[in-house]
Chain A
Amino acid sequence: MSIFEYNGSALVAMVGKNCFAIASDRRLGVQLQTIATDFKRISKIHDKLFIGLSGLATDAQTLYQRLVFRHKLYQLREERDMKPETFASLVSAILYEKRFGPYFTQPVIAGLGDDDKPFICTMDAIGAKELAKDFVVAGTASESLYGACEAMFKPDMEAEELFETISQALLSSVDRDCLSGWGGHVYVVTPTEVKERILKGRMD
């Protein structure tokens, strides 16, 4: 079994009209054993920029700490927040530094850039970026997430409809995956506010 599937995870980000949503499951497992049902894979970098790290939990934690550190240095030096495109390049560069001994994690980056244009992106464990206009998925439930998102996604949704869509896509996908689930964590980000919601799903 792949090391990417050791802890189990489901991650998805979607673009709406001047907004985006990013969601993850809440399970932390060790193979088939569930350790916790309140694990967080999505973190805020600044008010309009979020990163989700799927894959091996320890590497997600290590990488997150390094990214926060680098972003803080950037803030001090530049006296401003990082643009999502810049941050994606930073993550990519940090991942490629470890080309021959990678962090076993697949990141999903979502943010609002200049004039609140939504940006979403994912990459593999060694930093090959994959930009998308509609949605990106990652984790052990990625295959079922692709199907659900492909069926449910519509372009230019408003924040409330986007929340409903991403939540339904996440919940229906994790039910077909043994390694992820136990509810969900959803962030919907608009130019003026960040809404964080916790979902209850099948808790088995």
Chain B
Amino acid sequence: MECVFGLVGNDFAIVVADTSAVHSILVHKSNEDKIMFLDSHKLIAASGEPGDRVQFTEYIQKNVALYQFRNGIPLTTSAAANFTRGELATALRKNPYSVNILLAGYDKETGPSLYYIDYLATLHKLEKGAFGYGSYFSLSMMDRHYHSGMSVEEAIDLVDKCINEIRSRLVVAPPNFIIKIVDKDGAREYAWRQSVADTPAPSA
């Protein structure tokens, strides 16, 4: 089942998400990217109802882009997080999106940051956070091994520890994970951790 987590290191932030598209007991896809680029220096990792997730994150992404076109300057990570919260909070009392979000970004002035926004639109700035069944393991792992000012190597090592724990202790563990990173050079895909590959359809 869904596992999304992230942490802030020295001058970068990392978010990790599982890549399984599951319906009931069936796995439809094991390479579904649940981490979207909001703009050049922002990552939005989302979990929840698949339809809501895609619709909502795309809506946020397009609005962040629109702001940039209109004003010529990008939103800060904090501004984007507050905008996202606002949209989610308005929707909450009308027709709520069930999406939980980890928003990571890098700003010149403030450096890297990570925001926790749950489907109720509770916003909080964190150093490390997680959603879903994986959170029981990844939060414990990060509480034990996280320290402020981690290097990329240390952080990736911790991420691997978390993934390993999820794979070995969670009954419904997803096979594959994607790791994305954001730092002064922008947001980018860092690595995959795959234990199952999608088999291509045989050619006719």
Which residue numbers of A lie inside 8 Å of B, CB to CB? 7, 28, 30, 33, 35-36, 39, 56-58, 61-62, 101
Alpha-carbon separation in the docked complex, A101 to B96 (Å): 14
Q: How far is the CA of A5 from the CA of B93 in the complex (A)?
A: 19
**Residue among B118, B122, B124, B136 having the largest count of chain A Cβ atoms under 10 Å:** B122
Given contacts A36-B116, A58-B92, A62-B89, contact A28 B122 (CB under 8 A): yes
CA distance A175 to B122 in the complex (A): 25
Cα–Cα distance between A39 and B122 once the two chains are bound (Å): 11
CB pair A58–B135 under 8 Å, yes or no, is no
The complex places the Cα of A9 from the Cα of B170 at a distance, in Å, of 30
Number of interface residues of B (CB under 8 A): 16
Instruction: Determine the distance from Cα of A46 to Cα of B34 in the docked complex, in whole angstroms.
Output: 42
Closest 9 A/B residue pairs (Cβ): A58-B120, A57-B122, A58-B122, A58-B121, A36-B124, A62-B89, A28-B124, A36-B126, A61-B123
Q: How far is the CA of A58 from the CA of B124 in the complex (A)?
A: 10
Instruction: Let me know if A7 and B89 touch, CB within 8 A.
Output: no
Q: Are A61 and B135 in contact (CB under 8 A)?
A: no
Q: Which single residue of chain B is at the shortest CB-CB distance from A39?
A: B124
Task: Specify which chain A residues have a CB less than 8 angstroms from the CB of B135 in the assembled complex.
Answer: 33
- Quick check: A62 and B126 within 8 Å, CB to CB? no
B85 at the binding interface (Cβ < 8 Å): yes
- Compute how far the CA of A101 lies from the CA of B122 in the bound complex, rounded to whole angstroms: 18
Q: What are 25 A-B contacts with C-beta separation under 8 Å? A: A7-B122, A28-B124, A33-B135, A33-B136, A33-B139, A35-B126, A35-B129, A36-B124, A36-B126, A39-B124, A56-B120, A57-B124, A58-B89, A58-B92, A58-B118, A58-B120, A58-B122, A61-B85, A61-B89, A61-B121, A61-B122, A61-B123, A62-B89, A62-B121, A101-B93
Measured CB to CB, the closest approach of chain B to A54, in angstroms, equals 14
A35 to chain B: which residues have CB within 8 Å?
A: 116, 124, 126, 129
* Other contacts beyond A28-B122, A58-B122: 12, CB < 8 A: A30-B118, A35-B124, A39-B124, A56-B120, A58-B89, A58-B120, A58-B121, A61-B89, A61-B122, A62-B89, A62-B121, A101-B93
Residues of B within 8 A of A101 (CB): 93
B136 (CB) vs chain A CBs: closest residue? A33
What's the nearest-Cβ distance from chain B to residue A60, in Å? 9
Task: For residue B103, give the distance in angstroms from its CB to the closest CB of chain A.
Answer: 15
A33 contacts which chain B residues (CB < 8 A)? 135-136, 139
Residues of the B chain whose Cβ atoms lie less than 8 Å from the Cβ of A58: 89, 92, 118, 120-122
CB-contacts of B121-154 with A (<8 A): 121-124, 126, 129, 135-136, 139
Q: Return the chain B residue nearest A6 by Cβ.
A: B120
Bound CA span A30–B129, Å = 12
Q: How far is the CA of A33 from the CA of B137 in the complex (A)?
A: 12
What separation, in Å, do the CA atoms of A151 and B123 have in the docked complex?
36
Chain A neighbourhood of B92, CB < 8 A: 58
- Chain A residue with minimal CB distance to B120? A58
Which of chain B's residues has its CB closest to A62's CB? B89
Residues of B within 8 A of A39 (CB): 124
Q: Which residues of A have CB within 8 Å of B139?
A: 33
The interface centre, meaning the residue of A28, A36, A58, A62 with most chain B CB atoms within 10 A of its CB, is A58
Shortest beta-carbon distance, A65 to chain B, in Å? 9
Distance to closest chain A CB from B135 (angstroms): 7
CB of B125 to closest CB in A, whole Å = 8
